[in-house]
């Protein structure tokens, strides 16, 4: 893939993830790297750190867009970290920098990233993440995947 032209895929999830979520995130990070895509994330722990770790192990490039003013809380597995000092407003930057978003589990921060990505018309793939409904009817905006392989394949296909 030509330099400067790879797809960018965001991986979103909780900074305090469970074992299953971290294992998925690491695998997603690895597959993103192997596909020659760039990984974008919020740069902290949990799912973010695991995804960066998987990406690093496969020789990939990852970006962590941090909420704070410094790098102290950054995952050590990131290729580059960007302290924004914007607090939760940085969630919009994670999504803006990505062509597609993969959400793994996640809390309200992840939900905001899912929503911002959908607002911007970017494909969102979920691995056991938030479920959305209105007036009792499911809103099928998040593409559901059941494995890291499926999640990455679907995300990359959606932006091909």
The verdict on 73 binding a second copy (CB under 8 A) reads no
Q: Which stretch binds a second copy (CB under 8 A): 16-24, 29-37, 72-80, 144-152?
A: 72-80
CA pair distance 58, 62, nearest whole angstrom: 11
Angle of helix 148-158 relative to helix 19-34, nearest 10 degrees, comes to: 40
**Three-state DSSP state, 31:** helix
Residue 59 CB coordination number (10 Å): 9
Q: Please list every residue from 122 through 151 that binds a second copy, using CB under 8 A.
A: 128-136, 141
Q: Report the first-to-last Cα separation within the chain, whole angstroms.
A: 12
Q: Please list every residue from 81 through 100 that binds a second copy, using CB under 8 A.
A: 81-89, 91-93, 96-97
Q: Please list every residue from 48 through 67 that binds a second copy, using CB under 8 A.
A: 61, 63, 65
Least distance from C-beta 121 to a second copy, angstroms? 9
The verdict on 20 binding a second copy (CB under 8 A) reads no
Interacting residues of 116 by C-beta distance below 8 A, sequence separation 6+: 91, 92, 95
Q: Which residues bind a second copy (CB under 8 A)?
A: 3-4, 38, 61, 63, 65, 69, 74-89, 91-93, 96-97, 107-109, 111-112, 114-116, 118-120, 128-136, 141
């Amino acid at each position: 893939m030509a330099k400067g032209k790879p797809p960018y895929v965001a991986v979103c999830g909780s900074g305090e993830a469970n074992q299953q979520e971290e294992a998925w995130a690491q695998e997603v990070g690895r597959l993103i790297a192997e596909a020659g895509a760039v990984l974008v994330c919020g740069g902290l722990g949990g799912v973010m750190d695991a995804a960066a770790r998987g990406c690093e192990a496969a020789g990939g490039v990852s970006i962590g867009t941090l909420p704070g003013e410094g790098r102290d809380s950054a995952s050590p597995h990131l290729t580059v970290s960007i302290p924004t000092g914007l607090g939760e407003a940085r969630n919009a930057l994670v999504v803006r920098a990505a062509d597609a978003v993969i959400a793994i589990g996640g809390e309200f921060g992840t939900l905001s990233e899912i929503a911002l990505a959908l607002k911007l018309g970017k494909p969102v793939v979920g691995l056991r993440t938030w479920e959305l409904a209105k007036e009792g009817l499911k809103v099928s905006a998040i593409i559901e995947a059941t494995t890291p392989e499926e999640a990455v394949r679907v995300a990359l296909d959606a932006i091909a």
